[in-house]
Each structure stands twice: as C-alpha cells, then as structure tokens.
Structure 1
C-alpha cells in the first residue's frame, strides 16, 4: 500500500538562477472574435474612388508626367491606396494598418490641403496660383475645377474625418513625426532636380511658385522649404498630441464584463 498524499503540501522554494516567468499578453482576438466594420469600409471605399477618379481625370486632361510630378497627385495616390487597404481590413475584420503609415498619409493629405488654401488659393498670397494643377494663374474651370476641389479640399477633410471618427486613438507616437518628413524632403529634392533638368523657359518648369528657383533663387526657395518643413513637423506633433487626448469614437461595450473589471475589445481596422 502507498502512503496517503498529505492535504497541505508546502510550496517549493524558488530555484536560484532561474528567472520568474513573465506574464504573457493575451490579444483580444483570443477572447473576443473580431468584428467587421462595414460602415468604415464603405466610407473609405467612396473616398478612395473619388480621389482615384479625380486623378484619372487630371491624367487624361493634361500631361501624365507633369501631373504625376505634383505633390497633390502623389499624396492623393498614397491616400487612395491606404484607404483601399484599410477598407479591406475593416470589411474582413483584420488588424488595422500600421499607424506609421496611416499617420503619414493623413499628414500629407492635410499638408496638401493647407498649402493650397493658404499659399496658392488665397489671392493675397505672394505665391497665389489657384490653377496649380494646370499651371494657370486663374481659377480652374470645367472638370479641372471639380478635380481641384476634390484633391485639395474633399480628400483632406475626408482623411481627417476618417481619423477622428473611424480610427482608434493612441496609436501615433512622437518618434514617428520626424520620419514622416522623409517624403517631403525627397519631393523637394525631386522637384528642384526636375527644374534643373528642364530647359529654361519651359512652362511649369517649377510646379509650385514658392519653389520656383528661376524666379526667387535658391536662397529664397530653401528658406521657403525650411518654413514649410517646420510647419509640417509642427502639424505632425499636433496630430500625435491630439491622438492621445481625443476620445475613442469606436468604443463598444462588451458583456459580460471580465472578472478583473476590464472590458475586452476586439481590434478594429
């Protein structure tokens, strides 16, 4: 016969040299199945389709190479691709895109809209050029007027609304703000190089008046680029701060509540 097992077994002492096991993080998907967000997906698809249609019209009405050289067109192409990917993830209940990508896309869209309305569309601005996409000093007409408003006004506002109303807060980080400046700096180098390669006197040699070296010289252009870069960086910091202070627009209470008192929430796209 074997001896009975005692009811009270003392705890074994910890073995020196062996670290204690760290608590593991259990993702929400292991507890609560992710849910689809059809409204967010439809909204993003509509915005992406509008931006893509406006870009297609501009490409059809003007020179494709010149059109694709605009910061406005490039930022809207990026916004279209990101919104399409985000719409697919929201529809299929997958994890959202990295905040470094979505935050940069939002920043470039807002920079596009603000630069146009403050520097180009304002008649009192020394760099006024309402028809920037066509290279005309007068306000665009016809299809150009419609695409101009879509790319400079509608899509930046839609990107901001998507971020404020359909995106979880607290995902942006201050360290990302400096990396987001890589694309504007690359575009600055691109547009200055493009202007140097074109023959002097070529129409729209420099696509933006505040970057027109032939008219203002490199000293003034680089000073303008520095001021605009600082403004974009300040806008990026403001977005990060707002992201950590704004309420969660997609919070959804799930029942029953866990014993710990925390409400488990699935990831959203």
Structure 2
C-alpha cells in the first residue's frame, strides 16, 4: 500500500508539471513558482522512496511544501473573497487540478495514514528553510525583473512593510502547519498501533488452594 501511494503521488506530480508545460507551450519560467518547485520535490522524494528508504524528515518536508501549495492556492489565490484572489482561466485545467489538489491530498494522506514513523517536533522549524530560501529568491528575482511570482510578496503593490508583514504571517502559519502534520502523524500512529495490538486479558490468580 505504501509503495502504491508513493508511486501515485510521484506520477501525479510529474503529470501535473508535464500538463502545465504543454498548456503554456513549454515556458521555462514555470519553474520559478513555488507550486512547480514543490511538485518537483515531492515527485523526486516519492519516486526515490518507492525503491529505497527515505528519512522521515525529508519526506515530511516534501509533504509540508506540497500541502502549502494546495492550501495557499485554495484559500488565497483561488478564493474570490481573498484579497490576493487571482482569476485564472486555467483554474480547471488538468495541471491545476493535479498540482493544487490531487498531489497535496495524496502527499498528506501518505504522510498521515500510510507512513507512520517517529519524527521530532523541531522538524517543523527546520522545514521552514526552503520556504524562506524561496522568499529570498523571489524577492531578488522580482527586484531585477520588476515582477513577483505571487501577489502577497509583490513589493510594487504592498510595499516593503506589507510584504514583511505577510511574510511573517506565512512563516508562522507554515510552522504551525508543520506542527499539525507532525502531531496528527503521531496521534494516528499511536491510534493505529493500539488497534493493531491485541489486548491481553490479565491473568486471574489461582485461589483454589486458599
């Protein structure tokens, strides 16, 4: 079952990237987006994990980044009530459905229900390394090309203070999301382990000779 979920996650991630490149005529700038980069990460980690063990902290990081992609897209970018809503003509295309919905769900299910390994709570802080590195990359790139990959880090519209505030908010939210993934994983592992372990009936003392 574990192998199936890992393979399916990798296939959907790669399929989403391929579908995106077909849709935009192979535009290489697609790879500057967190969505595509996180899909590459989860695809690589899941594919390798099919054939050999991958440390839990690496799989957890890839899962977090994929979940970030899905949550940010559905709550902010594709939500009409969000201040960062972006009307997208390709919202219902294959690549959008795969990258923003199918892959994050598969990654989360695999982490929570299929792969049950012990992880440390401080991993949630360590996992922030890539999102923070991406923020630095996006800001430097934006300063040169005068265009930012996402509206919530757009200095031209929000200003430096606005971007700082949203970035701090996202950092805290991503850290909490990491803790949630770890906590739910621990809780489910304990629950399923408890169910799989048959209860032993305490021995009744022999009182026949009393």
Same fold (TM over 0.5): yes
Matched, 1:50 2:12: yes
Matched, 1:77 2:40: yes
Compare the two structures and name the one with the higher helix fraction: 2
Q: Which residue of 2 aligns with 1:158?
A: 106
Structure 1 gaps of 5+ residues are 1-38, 90-95, 130-136, 255-269
Number of corresponding residues: 195
Q: Which residue of 2 aligns with 1:247?
A: 189
Q: CA deviation at 1:176?
A: 1.3
Q: Which residue of 2 aligns with 1:132?
A: none
Distance 1:83 1:227 in 2: 29
Structure 2 gaps of 5+ residues are 198-210
Pair 223,242 (structure 1): closer, same or farther in 2 beyond 3 Å: same
Q: CA deviation at 1:128?
A: 0.3
Matched, 1:67 2:30: yes
Bigger Cα Rg: 1
Tell me the TM-score normalised to structure 2 length: 0.85
Q: CA deviation at 1:243?
A: 2.4
Residue 166 of structure 1 contacts residue 250 of structure 1 at CA under 8 Å; is this kept in 2?
Answer: no
Tell me the TM-score normalised to structure 1 length: 0.67
Q: CA deviation at 1:190?
A: 0.5
Which deviations, in whole Å up to 9, do the C-alpha atoms of 1:20-39 show, x marking residues without a partner?
xxxxxxxxxxxxxxxxxxx3
Distance 2:101 2:186 in 1: 26
Residue 167 of structure 1 contacts residue 250 of structure 1 at CA under 8 Å; is this kept in 2?
Answer: no
Distance 1:250 1:147 in 2: 37
Which deviations, in whole Å up to 9, do the C-alpha atoms of 1:212-265 show, x marking residues without a partner?
1111111101110110110000111122222222235589979xxxxxxxxxxx
Q: Which residue of 2 aligns with 1:41?
A: 3
5 Å matches for 1:73-152? Answer: 73-89=36-52, 96-129=53-86, 137-140=87-90, 145-152=93-100
- Selected match of 2:156 from 214, 228, 242: 214
- RMSD of Structure 2 on Structure 1 (CA): 2.1
Residue 45 of structure 1 contacts residue 83 of structure 1 at CA under 8 Å; is this kept in 2?
Answer: yes
Q: CA deviation at 1:97?
A: 1.4
Residue 6 of structure 2 contacts residue 50 of structure 2 at CA under 8 Å; is this kept in 1?
Answer: yes
Which deviations, in whole Å up to 9, do the C-alpha atoms of 1:26-55 show, x marking residues without a partner?
xxxxxxxxxxxxx32123212211210110
Q: Which residue of 2 aligns with 1:93?
A: none
Residue 64 of structure 2 contacts residue 177 of structure 2 at CA under 8 Å; is this kept in 1?
Answer: yes
Q: Which residue of 2 aligns with 1:182?
A: 129
Pair 250,67 (structure 1): closer, same or farther in 2 beyond 3 Å: farther
- Selected match of 1:237 from 179, 190, 197: 179
